Amino acid sequence: MKCVFQARHMIEAHMLANLLDQVGVMAQVHGDMLQGGMGELPAAGLSTVWVAANDEDRALEVIAEFEASQPADREVVSPATAPTPLAGQGFLAGLLVGMVIGAVLMLMLLR
């Protein structure tokens, strides 16, 4: 048996094992039940996909196709550069207009 893939989580490992089974490569997932020990064990990389040694080349081809078909990870925006909901002059203009309208309505109601 050869380890051909180290998954980020057990769902990814089982998904890939099922994909390999669909193309005729018998695959086993090892370590998928270890995620129950999070806190005591590392949080990721516990699940691995294993195949027979003679199926390794075909499995690596299927894995390469699978990884190529996955969308790229989204760009992570740091909190320092992320736009805030209160940013911009539009917010201040809206606040000022709202205060003026509120004041006019209060004056009309109190007369």
- 10-61 pLDDT, tens per residue? 889 999 999 999 999 999 999 877 766 566 655 566 789 999 999 999 999 9
Tokens 């004056």 sit on residue: 107
Question: In this predicted model, which residue has the larger pLDDT, 25 or 88?
Answer: 25
Angle, CA of 88, 94 and 95, to the nearest 5° = 95
CB 76 within 8 A of CB 44: no
What does the alpha-carbon distance between residue 33 and residue 24 come to, in Å, rounded to a whole number? 25
Tokens of 62: 């299927």
Domain 2-69: state its class: alpha beta
pTM for the whole thing?
0.58
